[in-house]
Structure 1
Amino acid sequence: MTETLRSLRDQPYALLAELDRTLRAARFEAAEGQFWTGLAFRLGEDGFVVPGDDVREVLTPMPVTRVPGAAEWLLGVANVRGDLLPVCDLRALAGYPRGETDRDSRVVVFHHPQAPLGFLVDGVYGHRQFVPGDQKHALADSAPAPLRDWLLGAFVREGSSWRVLSLHRLAASAQLTHVAA
């Protein structure tokens, strides 16, 4: 590494880029295994996180076209940059009382190569990091069905509870695969 940096001494931009790359790699290696990061959101008053790799993007709610004969939790399909995106009301799907879509509501888009899905949530808080000591699996075990089947675990951090939701488990669940009302 030192030889590489010396060879770039007369190229300040390339030198800075190499230093940045080296520092980022070192920071990633130092932090690997020390914390877990997920995208935090809420349903009602309950906090959830999903693994960051499960999320393609977060969108503001968009107009959807209702699908005749579909379950109530399937809000419809939306046109997102020319692609059709099924949008589900995660609150209704998980057994929560139906809420109103407001300015805090967001659509979390599941990153799935064959069938992306959008899940309407009550609000998104951004990314949260957790350390192993934050794990509290009893929170996941005490969740009501069907939610319990979709959980990977739970965390408590700074007095807030966060259940870890697997969008992969949710997408493969019987509830989601049977959309007929």
Structure 2
Amino acid sequence: MKTHSTTIIGLIHNGQAALGGDGQVTFGNTVMKHNAIKIRSLLNGKVLTGFAGSTADAFTLFDRFEEKLEQYSGNLSRAVVELAKDWRTDKYLRRLEAMLAVVSQDKTFIISGTGDVVEPEDNIVAIGSGGMYALAAAKMLKKYSNLSAEEIVKEALKVAADICIYTNDKINVEVIK
């Protein structure tokens, strides 16, 4: 059975960085869990990361990413590139099926197992089955509202939950203080 799940959205807006995700975990056509937490704070709260894809694979990637952040003394750009290189070339890691969204106070990244590292120009990252719905909502809210980054993430996740059957409204948002 193929797993589908998740919407992760993060952004930097008006000096605030936020990342959030829904809580639904789906296996095939069955909802297995409603309140999963798919985001994690790293580097003493300076970096937020979220995953879409296989849960076990994502936790392996979280651990590897945290090691890279420590290895490169918190240099986020270097850590994401080195993780992507390892992910693509390591015999074990390249079999992992997940994506990571990463947000810091001043940078956003999407990292994939194909070796892609994307740093969006608009500082909005979105992954998962509902990611593009949340991305569209976040772009409009960022441009035409006075909401904070945290509020935009929450509202974008609500939009995705209304459209994507693999996304629910049990939202978890972290903000970099």
User: Which of the five TM-score ranges fits, normalised by the shorter chain?
Assistant: under 0.3
Structure number with higher helix proportion: 2
Larger Rg: 1
Name the TM-score, length of structure 1 as normaliser: 0.27
TM norm structure 2:
0.27
Larger RCO (alpha carbons 8 Å, 6+ apart) = 2
